Amino acid sequence: MPQKSVNRVVLAFSGGLDTSVILKWLQVTYGCEVVTFTADLGQDGEIEPARAKAELLGVKPEHIFIEDLRDEFVRDYVFPMVRANALYEGQYLLGTAIARPLIAKHQVEIARAVGADAVAHGATGKGNDQVRFELGYYALEPDIKVIAPWREWDLTSRAALLDFAEKHQIPVPRDKRGEAPFSTDANLLHTSSEGKVLEDPWAEVPDYVYSRTDDPEQAPAAEDVVIAFEAGDAVAVDGEALGPADLLARLNALGRRHGIGRLDLVENRFVGMKSRGMYETPGGTILHLAHRGIEQLTLDRGAAHLKDELMPRYAELVYNGLWFSPERQMLQAAIDLSQQRVTGEVRLKLFKGTAHVTGRRSSESLYDERTVTFDDDAGVYDQHDAEGFIKLTALRLRLLARREQR
């Protein structure tokens, strides 16, 4: 039962079964006014039906917020991660994790605008998203009341949710009444699938789970794509300048038809358990590889290696919901400083589920053909210089070896 009275709450609302039940549950349990916020992050399906669903459940039209956040999502959240080359546990491109702080930010802004004293989300008590949402809320509005229905109510099964929906006349499409074979989360960066048929880590992912990528074995002939970067951010595809969301959408379309970006992963959740999920990140995978490609030319060795040391920590902060933390912001400042001259073009070849760099060029390149050539370098590099470097580096090794030989 509620421990604190609530007058008005801003709910992260998708319009699906879970959040529709939550909306009504908040009205019944807290007796409060509910304001809904639906973020368009480029997920599959229509966003606008959420408006009709909210109105049906008694939300005032002026308290239904639907916002197109696709450009903000890519520009201010996805691109900074790409600049960091962020991969959680060496593989996961953080598609779900990076969306939560953006949603939390807008919920808090709406709460301030409408005078709400609480925010609510539909994340379960077993998952990472409860942590991500709530750390975002508290970082931006430290005294906000947070309601997490899955940690409070006794609706612990899908059958219970359906019974509640029927009792309160919440419409549920006929095809949604059966037990879902798996759960999904989607945005412009990725689609994640987990649960049910995916819970056995030995069982291969069924073909019907894939929604964002075509079968790599049926992919068309190899295709080249050229991505242009300025200061670490992608700005054009095949010579066409594009805004952040349109650029990622273009790469998603390319990645889809070549079956690129599938990842079957058993990860370590923040809450302590291991979880098996299947991620599809077609455009993000291409973008990540291209960014590494342009850094190969333009980033100094010391900066590049330091970035690689910092990256696991950065990725873990994002995964754990600490996007608004000072340590993430400190790392971002250092990373962004390194990106000032990460400018140029990268060519990749896409073929049957794979993408690999086949060329890169930049006006900011540190690559010097005169220095690396195997032909006569006309004295640019004096090979005799290497002897002194090697002997100085080897000095301590020689001293150790002499001691062992006594």
Encoding tokens for residue 59? 């939300």
- Are 25 and 2 in contact by the 8 Å Cβ rule? The answer is no
Name the DSSP class of 31: -
Q: What is the pLDDT of residues 334-352, one digit of tens each?
A: 999 999 999 999 999 999 9
Distance CA 73, CA 187 (A): 9
According to the model, what pLDDT value does residue 173 have? 73
Cα 364 from Cα 344, distance rounded (Å): 7
**Of 136, 155, 132, which Cα lies nearest the Cα of 144?**
136
DSSP calls for 95-128: TTTTHHHHHHHHHHHHHHHHT-SEEE----TTSS
DSSP codes, 276-302: EEEEE-HHHHHHHHHHHHHHHHHS-HH
Q: Which pLDDT value is given to residue 174?
A: 62
306, 12, 305: which is closest to 130 by C-alpha?
12
CA distance 339 to 345: 14
Domains and CATH numbers, the chain: 8-69+96-179 (3.40.50.620), 184-299+342-361 (3.90.1260.10)
| Per-residue model confidence (pLDDT) at position 30 | 95
Dist CA 316 CA 328 (whole Å): 10
Q: What is the CA radius of gyration of the chain?
A: 25
Cβ-based neighbour number of residue 365 at 10 Å: 16
Pick from 368, 357, 360: nearest CA to 343: 360
Enumerate the active-site residues.
18, 100, 129, 183
Q: In whole angstroms, what is the distance from residue 160 CA to residue 316 CA?
A: 35
User: In sequence order, what DSSP letters do the residues of 132-190 get, joined into one string?
Assistant: HHHHHHHHH-TT-EEE-GGGT-S--SHHHHHHHHHHTT----GGGSSPPSSEEEE-SS-
> How many C-beta neighbours within 10 Å does residue 396 have?
9
**How many Cα neighbours within 13 Å face the side chain of 179?**
6
Bridging pattern class, strands 33-40 and 8-12: parallel
Distance CA 254, CA 360 (A): 19
CB 219 within 8 A of CB 254: no
CA dihedral for 43, 45, 48, 49, sign (positive or negative): negative
Question: Which residues of the chain are under the pLDDT cut of 50?
Answer: 1
Strands (E), 199-273: 223-230, 233-237, 240-241, 262-268
pLDDT in tens, 275-304: 999 999 999 999 999 999 999 999 999 999
Which residues make Cβ contacts (< 8 Å) with residue 167, sequence separation at least 6? none
